[in-house]
A and B are shown apart, each in its own frame.
Chain A
């Protein structure tokens, strides 16, 4: 049986309050190991989020590079195989069987197409999309609120709630999943 998750979902009116709350949670975690995971929900991207939540390991660019190189190779194989196949039925005289200069155009397009598709695949993998909406999601987050979701051990719920409360939340919900 899957272990139950205990979450606290706090909503704030602005980013500064949410940032203070995360800082308090970090301090609390250092003292009591109370917090298992923190997630921040916001209507816009805050570049500072990595400073407060830590670095996100999302090597999307590696997928991009791999996809782009695969695209170059696959498109070269396609045009080279087509040229070779044509040569067997339509001899080309003194012309090269596999003409590189014109193949470069198709290889270039293949590089970009595969690069774009693999980047998108990486985006899906690292963002966790597509996914089901959580029941405690607050639609106000897509408008102008900031939310913090904290996974806690049951025995620390009150401490964490107090830490969240100190930074002036609009609402705190307790959720069990």
Chain B
């Protein structure tokens, strides 16, 4: 990548805003159709009540909450990995971090829809806001659900600002090359950035400070989501290791999503020169490592339940493997525990389309994982007279599928309007690699010189 000219980087990325492949429009159309189906399903549920979603005792939480956890999890890798890799100065993040951060933002926006849908009475959503009702009763800040509201609002705000701040120099490039409505939009959003040294110094300090905040924030958000479960008394939810288990799972599904979007953007926007096999290889290795951490925590959880010998916990565990939800649990183990071993093979890692399909399998595994966290424990809880197996109905499934359409549509619209590859950071990467390469060449030349000198001295 060190040989790409800076002007070409601008040209290639700006071209992606104007002319993606025709498949882009097909994907947008499919996603829009899914969103329409979701709107219809929600309208139906709104009119006839939450019963149409087949949520009933003891399944007060089901697919909507599974989806909420899944999308919050998906949001983790983008900002968290971007921030960690920025702080550790890993330059391979540069061509891919922008879309990963955008993925974070749109995952949160998708996740935020589900508690509202799950509430049934969507008009009462404002009750989570911190202000008292007419009887001076405030929202209960002792509840993890309120912690969720605070954490997710903070995460969404901070991630959006992190994405925006990182994009300002690129918006200035867009401004300098755009016409019409795009020119007006980029002019307003670039805030008059001109690349002055004062701006760059302030920018770098700010960006690093924001990254420092985002790393612990991302970990806290999913730990709090885990607390929604772990703070309850439901068997198989009341587990100390849930927060790290959730964080590892979030990173895992997020990394898998990064791989999916990597291949998709590479093809749709012709980013072959920037999203290289080398970067894919590193991303996949990271995903594999995180997959192994998640597997360790998952198996550790089974072992802890088994050795605790708690009757209810053990019953839920046994029911998970041989009960009515067994296909979900075995499916999860197949997709999220067995399938990732394919990533150990270099040939597989370097095949973009193989990785695309594998990443979808991993995400399916992680989605099943969220479902098996939420539903089976409710089906065999502490009160055997309430035991019942309930599967999600058409409304829940439609809204679930629609959420994928909603996310992909928002993400692709973002990539069509804003540069999904960071131009200035790729330029920095090219610049530093070029310097490093010429330094190596100079060192080689001086070594050869020394050897020649020594030989000459020896001959004399």
Instruction: Please give the residue numbers on chain A whose beta carbons come within 8 Å of chain B beta carbons, in ascending order.
Output: 39-46, 49-50, 53, 56, 58, 60-61, 64, 78-79, 82-83, 85-86, 88-90, 99, 102-103, 105-106, 108-110, 112-113, 115-117, 119-120, 122-123, 126-134, 137, 139, 141-144
Contacts and interface: CB of A to CB of B under 8 A. Distances in A.
A119 B150 contact: no
A60 B7 CA distance: 32
Nearest to A61: B209
Contacts of A42: 195, 197, 200
B70 to A, nearest CB: 22
Interface stretch (B30-38, B138-146, B399-407): B138-146
Given A82-B139, A99-B142, A105 B150 contact: yes
B80 interface: no
A76 to B, nearest CB: 11
A84 B377 CA distance: 36
Contact of A39 (B191, B193, B198): B198
A66 to B, nearest CB: 13
B209 A64 contact: yes
Contact of A141 (B150, B192, B194): B194
B173 interface: yes
Given A85-B132, A143-B6, A102 B198 contact: no
Contacts of A49: 197, 200-201
Contacts of B210: 116, 119-120
Interface stretch (B213-221, B269-277, B333-341, B353-361): B213-221
A126 B203 CA distance: 9
A141 B203 CA distance: 17
Interface stretch (B96-104, B153-161, B390-398): B153-161
Contact of A90 (B137, B146, B199): B137
B206 interface: yes
Contacts of A106: 141, 146-147, 150
Contacts of A58: 198, 201-202, 205
Interface string B100-134: 00000000000000000000000000000010100
14 contacts: A42-B200, A44-B431, A46-B200, A58-B198, A88-B136, A102-B142, A106-B147, A113-B153, A116-B210, A127-B198, A127-B199, A129-B199, A139-B177, A141-B194
B278 interface: no
Query: Lowest 5 A-B CB distances belong to which pairs?
Result: A139-B176, A144-B6, A82-B138, A127-B202, A130-B191
Nearest to B425: A44
Given A41-B196, A130-B192, A142-B173, A50 B201 contact: yes
A123 B202 contact: yes
B157 A116 contact: yes
A130 B187 CA distance: 10
A116 B197 contact: no
B68 interface: no
A44 B217 CA distance: 29
Given A42-B197, A64-B209, A130-B192, A82 B130 contact: yes
